[in-house]
Amino acid sequence: MLFFRLLLVFLIFKTAATGFFRKKLYRTMVKGNFTCKYRSSGTYKVSIKEGLVFRDKSQTLNRQFMHYKEPFLLDALTYSYTKPSMFIKITHTCNSPYGQCFQIFVKSIDPRFIKRMKQGQRKWRDPYNLGSHDLANLPAMFLNCPYKRRASG
């Protein structure tokens, strides 16, 4: 009888402990609208990433290619023990009328917009609003320009 009680207490403790230390589901949503004053048509890439901004080990949660002047709504889900740090990365070529340099704009998502999802919860209240901006006026954190090689004669 004592063995049965100890086994029962052990199983209850193990079930409660694993439920308490389980990874939780977190979700964020981002919306915005971007234009380019140098190009009327073209695309840019919007990504939601988890991790630190200046590290290579950031994990892409969701990405989407969008056309200029087209609004987007992007959501991302991740499992974590604590509230994750997420950021938005926008890759575009809107820097001059003739250049093909890739510019990268990075912005951290406010932790108030990273919500823990509970079981059965499907509604989302407020997405993180980036607003409407011209990509040529946004500060570029990194710049990658492929050089054109001239043919030697």
* Residue ranges of the chain whose pLDDT lies below 50: none
Structural domains of the chain, with CATH: 23-144 (2.60.40.3330)
Q: What is the pLDDT of residues 55-66, one digit of tens each?
A: 677 888 999 999
pTM equals 0.76
Looking at residue 76, its pLDDT comes to 92
Q: 85 to each of 123, 132, 150, how far by Cα in Å? A: 22, 24, 44
Looking at residue 99, its pLDDT comes to 66
Looking at residue 22, its pLDDT comes to 80
Looking at residue 87, its pLDDT comes to 93
Looking at residue 144, its pLDDT comes to 67
Looking at residue 30, its pLDDT comes to 93
Q: Which residues contact 54 (CB under 8 A, 6 or more apart)?
A: none
Looking at residue 74, its pLDDT comes to 92
